[in-house]
Amino acid sequence: MADDRNPFNFGDLALEAGFADRERELAELTTHIRNGQNVVVFAPRRYGKSSLVWRAAQDLVARSEALVAQVDLMLTTTKEQLAAALAKAIHEEIATPLFRARERAVQVFSGLRIAPVLTVDPQTGGLGFSFRAGHQRADVDATLEGLFELPAQLAADRGKRVAIVFDEFQEVLSIDPHLPKLMRSIFQTQPDVAHVYLGSKRSMMHRLFNDANEPFWRSAAQMELGPIPPDEFATFLGERFGETNRRLPDAVAESALALTGGHPYATQELGYALWEETPRGRAANADTLERALDRVLHSENAHFSLVWERASAVQRLVLQALALEPTTALTAHEYRQRHDLPGTSSVARAVEALVDDELLRQLAPGHYVIAEPFLAQWLRARLR
C-alpha cells in the first residue's frame, strides 16, 4: 500500500513530496536562472544544495522556461573527462530537446577542434561521449572553449533560455588551475546563459567568488543556505507522517528538531528512523524517538569512526570538549583546563582545520559548534 512506504529520503536527491520547504530559496534560484543571472550556492555539506537546484530545474523545464544541463565535476579528473561530461550534458539536456532528432543534436559538436568519440549503450540506446588522451594541450583547451561557448550559441539560435549547473565546482582547480580564468573569460560574454555553481568545500568556494584576485570575483549572485526553520520543518514532518497513516505529535516533532537543529539531511534521516519505529496507525512518542536516535547513531557509526580516525589528537580533544560542553570561549584558560586542551595556538590550529573540514561551524568570533548534528551525540555515547 502507498502509505506503507517511508516518506523520508536522506541519501538521494529530495524531489517531489520529499523536498522540504526552501520555498523562498527555490523562488530566488528559479528567478536567477530565468533571468540568465549567474549564481553560486553556498552551504555546508548535506544541506540540500543539489536537491534545491534539481527542484528548480524540474520546475523550469516543466514550464518550458529554460533548458538546464548539469555537470558534476567531482567525476572529472582530467580536461578530457570534463569535455566528455560537458558534451554529454549539452547533448542530452539542451541539443536533444531543441532539435528532437539524435542526428541533428550530435551535429552541434561538428565544429569542435577535437571530435568526441561516440558510443551507444546496447541496453538503453543512450549515447556516450569521450575524448581520448594524447592530444596537444592547445587542442584540448580549444575544444573545451568550444564546449563552453556552445550553450550560448544554441540558446541564441533557438531563442531558448539555457542554464548550466556545475556541481562540486571547486574541483576545477584540481583539473587545471588555469580553468577558472578560461571559463570566466567565456561566461562573461554570455548574458543569456545562467551559470549555477555548487560546491561542498565552502572555504574554496568562498575564495573563488570572494577573493579579488580570483577570476570569478563578484561574477555571480550569492545564495547561502542555512538550516530550515523549525516551525516549517515541523509542518513538513507532520504532513509526511499524516499522509502515511501515522501521527507525529507537536512535542515529539519539537524534540526531534532540537536534536537536528533544522539540518536538512539530519532531519530527513531522523524522520526516516522515527517513521520506521512508529507502527502504522499509531503516534510517535518519546520512546520511539529515542529508539530512532539509536538507529541513526548505529547507521552513522562507520562515517563518524572514519572522521575520528582522520582527526589529529588535538582535533579529537576539541571535538570531545564541544560535545560535552558547548561554549562561546573555546580558548579560555579555565575551559582548556577542564577539558585537558593544550595551549591557545594549538587549539586555534585544530579549530581552523576542523572548520576547513566542515566538522565545526563558526557562529560568532570564538563561538564554534559541531556541524554534524549527530556527531556530538555519537561522541557523548562513546565517552559514557
* CA–CA distance, 221 with 28 (Å, rounded to integer): 10
Interval 143-162: pLDDT, tens? 999 999 999 998 888 788 89
Does domain 22-224 correspond to CATH entry 1.20.1090.10? no
Q: How far is it between the farthest Cα atoms of the chain?
A: 72
Count the alpha carbons within 13 Å of 116 in the hemisphere toward its beta carbon. 28
pLDDT greater than 90 at residue 306: yes
Residue 11's pLDDT is what?
Answer: 65
* CA–CA distance, 16 with 58 (Å, rounded to integer): 9
Q: Which are the contacts of 142, defined by CB distance < 8 A and separation ≥ 6?
A: 113, 114
Among 383, 156, 258, which residue's Cα sits nearest to residue 250? 258
Q: Which are the contacts of 175, defined by CB distance < 8 A and separation ≥ 6?
A: 73, 76, 77, 78, 79, 82
128-137, 236-245, 250-259, 340-349: segment of lowest average pLDDT: 128-137
Q: How wide is the angle at C-alpha 148 spanned by C-alphas 37 and 114, nearest 5°? A: 170
For 228-299, the fitting CATH number among 1.10.8, 3.10.450, 2.20.28, 1.10.1760 is 1.10.8
**Parallel, antiparallel or unpaired: strands 117-120 and 127-130:** antiparallel
Residue 12's pLDDT is what?
Answer: 53
Residue 322's pLDDT is what?
Answer: 96
Q: What is the CATH number of domain 302-383?
A: 1.10.10.10
Task: State the cell numbers at 70.
Answer: 548539469
Each domain of the chain, given as residue ranges in start order, spans 22-224, 228-299, 302-383
The span from the first CA to the last CA of the chain, in angstroms, equals 42
- The better pLDDT of the pair 19, 202 is held by 202
Residue 43's pLDDT is what?
Answer: 81
